[in-house]
Amino acid sequence: MPRFANWDAFNDYLEDQCRKRQGDILRGHKASIGERLETDLAAMQDLPAAPFEACDLRSRQGRQRSGLRAFVGTQVA
């Protein structure tokens, strides 16, 4: 298990590992990882100009032992 002095070192390691695999073609695919990444990046939308909440949080009531969890968006409400 690799260990890192700080988060920056960890992020540098991850970026290096990702860049090393850009030319690899995975089983079941005809394009390389890098080519598929370029296609994905071209299809992505720009970030919004202003920050926003990506989910809608709502309060819910339930019995303590019911184990109720309501998923709204990507958050557990």
Residue 41 lies in a domain: yes
Residue 2 lies in a domain: no
Residue 28 lies in a domain: yes
Among the listed residues 50, 32, 34, the one whose alpha carbon sits nearest the alpha carbon of residue 42: 34
Q: What pLDDT sits at residue 34?
A: 95
- The model's pLDDT over 18-31, given as tens digits with 9 standing for 90+, comes to 999 999 999 999 99
Residue 20 lies in a domain: yes
The domain in which residue 31 lies consists of: 7-76
The neighbouring-strand residues paired with 72 are: 75
Residue 1 lies in a domain: no
- The model's pLDDT over 24-66, given as tens digits with 9 standing for 90+, comes to 999 999 999 999 999 999 999 988 888 887 777 777 776 665 5
Mean pLDDT of 14-21: 94
How many structural domains are present in the chain? 1
Residue 52 lies in a domain: yes
- How far, in Å, CA of 72 to CA of 69, rounded? 10
Q: What pLDDT sits at residue 72?
A: 53
